[in-house]
Amino acid sequence: MRVLLINPPPYQRVDEYDTPNFTRLGLACLASHLRSHGDAEIEIVDSKFERLSYAAVSDRIRQFQPDVVGLTAFTNEIIPASRVAEMAKSISPDVVTVIGGVHATVLPDRTLEEFPSFDCAVVGEGELTFTQLVGNIDRGESIAGIPGVHLRADYEHRGQRLAPQPGATPERVRTVDLDEFPNPAWDLVPNATRYLLMTQRGCAYRCTFCANPNGRTVRMRSIDAVMTELHEIIARGGTELYICDELFTVDRERTHALLDAMIAADIGSKLRWSAQTHVNTVDRELFAKMKAAGCFICGLGIETGDPDILKRMKKGSSMERVIEARQAARDAGLPIEGLLIVGHPYETWESAMRTIDFAVELNPDRPIVGVMVPYPGTEVAAMAARGEGGYRLLSTDWNDYSKQIGHALEFENLSRRELEILQMLAYVKVFLRNRRYADFARFVWKYHSEGLAVLRKIVLGRMPTPERFDSETAAPAPAGVSLSEKFRQ
């Protein structure tokens, strides 16, 4: 079997996630598990990291001639992923196209109905499911009924109709022991200086804006497994790392043990790293040890400065606890990244200004302010669809579902333009009210592309120019594809 795993080109090249300096962790994990359980020939095409156009991706597909194409996508990446699947089908009609990732996990059947270029969807953690799927295809066995695999209603393969009856797809039980999975196949992607690493999966909190695709039960890798991967990343030339756990410090005893191992191995002198966590799970001692282990900044979910909104979002924190966590980081000398959202349910100009004033008071070293996105599977999405919380849904185009430069929703009493003005105002006030003029200049320089795109959108009222999709490469969906009417309900 020849299996090609693809991270599709971005819809637009504006923010750092459109042109990342790191490769896609999920695809490296899939490749590693698949390789350890068979003899498939595997390649990874990371279009974003490699800065590939659709035409270049088409060339890679032609060169490799895959039997299976696996794609991954967040919600704002699902349309580009469908276009790549279209290209693969146009090159080789018999290729099996598989979509995975958060969006397909939350909306598997709807995704397959909406995008006929996908043959099947892998729901949840993909390692076991995708490996079984590829194995069945290789042996000529049916893929209907594989736990975690959803098939398009009219799907046929090699003349055999394989679509199961509605509701017949069994769920895949989540793997408790993450050490059953081998370390990511970093050798199949280009070397990078920055890497992503996950030491655990899952989050016990129930924030209204999060779909939590890894489940409510936190499952952890062993410290030995994490340390082995850290050494491998360093050997590959990695100098910076983002630990992408939902909550890095959720188990304090285990976190201390991991940090002790990192300090003993002198990881901090070879690799600087960052992470994010919950304000309820940190203190000065933990922050100090994180810094000693090489952490250069820690993200804290502040979200809002309005006490009533904070209670309604089910985050489990309080204004007082946020202040305590911020002070603990300051006392330990560890910079923080303050993660804030404008556009919570029932948001008003006044409540958003309270958030901005709270951010000024906290003075995070790196403020990150997003506009609320009604991601599928979240309580916020359900409210927006019903018109609750003051929401007015503006778009059913998945390309608009981006935190920094999106266009998914506004409020009855707060326009999209006003939300974006508040977003920009938050950045300006945090830096200038705290007289951090040099920091502000560096921040503007680093994020000038995103900033200019937001400013243009405020003035012109439209999204940035999408990435070119050449009709000669494959039959495209038009830029700004909207969902069909049945999905607007």
Q: Say which CATH number the domain at 143 has.
A: 3.40.50.280
pLDDT of residue 482 exceeding 50? no
Q: Is residue 442 part of a domain?
A: yes
* Cα 320 to Cα 306: distance, rounded to the nearest angstrom: 12
pLDDT at position 280, please? Answer: 96
Task: Note the pLDDT tens digit of each residue in 83-100.
Answer: 999 999 999 999 999 999
Query: Is residue 149 located within the same domain as residue 224?
Result: no
Give a yes or no: residue 188 inside a domain: no
pLDDT in tens, 355-399: 999 999 999 999 999 999 999 999 999 999 999 999 999 998 999
210 and 347 share one domain: yes
Q: How far is CA 382 from the centre of its chain?
A: 20
Say how many residues make up the chain: 489
pLDDT category of residue 485 using cuts at 50, 70 and 90: very low
Is residue 170 in some structural domain?
A: no
Instruction: Let me know whether 125 and 256 are in one domain.
Output: no
Neighbouring-strand partners of residue 200: 220
The tally of domains found in the chain comes to 2
Tens digit of each residue's pLDDT (9 = 90 or more) over 269-289: 999 999 999 999 999 999 999
Per-residue burial over 257-292, b if 16 or more Cβ lie within 10 Å, else e, is: ebbebbeeeebbeebebbbbbbbbebebebbbbbbe
Clarify whether residues 200 and 150 are in a common domain: no
The amino acid sitting at 84 is: V
Residue 46 corresponds to which amino acid? D
| Dist CA 64 CA 70 (whole Å) | 13
Q: Which two tokens stand for residue 154?
A: 């009219």
- Edge-to-edge strand ranges of the sheet holding 240-243: 194-197, 240-243, 272-277, 295-303, 336-342, 366-371
Same domain, 156 and 210: no
Q: Is 386:408 a contact under the CB 8 Å cutoff?
A: no
> What was the pLDDT predicted at 342?
97
CB 77 within 8 A of CB 48: no
Is 115 domain-assigned?
A: yes
Q: How large a percentage of the chain has pLDDT more than 90? A: 81
User: What CATH number did the domain enclosing 244 receive?
Assistant: 3.20.20.70
Please check whether residue 172 lies inside any domain of the structure.
no
The tokens 């904070």 sit on which residue? 310
Q: Count of CB atoms within 10 A of residue 321's CB? A: 15
pLDDT tens column, 166-194: 556 788 999 999 999 999 999 999 999 99
Q: Are 315 and 334 in contact (CB under 8 A)?
A: no
Whether residue 140 is found in the same domain as residue 241: no
Find the domain containing 441 and state its range. 193-460
pLDDT at residue 450, as a whole number: 86
Q: How many helices (H) and strands (E) does the chain have?
A: 17, 18
Determine the average pLDDT of the residues in 137-157. Answer: 87
pLDDT at 164: 54
Going along 304-354, which residue ranges are E strands? 336-342
> Is residue 481 over pLDDT 60?
no
- Nearest partner of 318 among 302, 297, 341, 340, judged by Cα: 302
User: In terms of domains, do 140 and 205 share one?
Assistant: no
Q: What is the dihedral of CA 292, 294, 295, 296, to 10 degrees?
A: 100
Same domain, 129 and 237: no
Domain presence at residue 416? yes
d(CA 398, CA 74): 10
- Sequence-distant (6+) residues with CB within 8 A of 446 are none
- How many CA atoms does the CB half-sphere of 21 hold within 13 Å? 8
Tens digit of each residue's pLDDT (9 = 90 or more) over 391-427: 999 998 999 998 888 899 999 999 999 999 999 999 9
Contact (CB, 8 A) for 100 and 126 = yes
Q: Which residues neighbour 358 within 8 Å (Cβ) at sequence distance 6 or greater?
A: 302, 304, 305, 319
- Evaluate whether residue 177 is within a structural domain: no
Per-residue model confidence (pLDDT) at position 157: 65
* For residues 120-147, average pLDDT: 93
Please name the amino acid found at residue 1.
M
- Last residue of some domain: 140, 161, 182? 161
Average pLDDT over residues 330-334: 98
Residue 465 lies in a domain: no
Residue 489 CB neighbours (<10 A)? 5
- Reported as a pLDDT band with limits 50, 70 and 90, residue 158 is low
Q: CA 324, 329, 331, 332 torsion: positive or negative?
A: positive
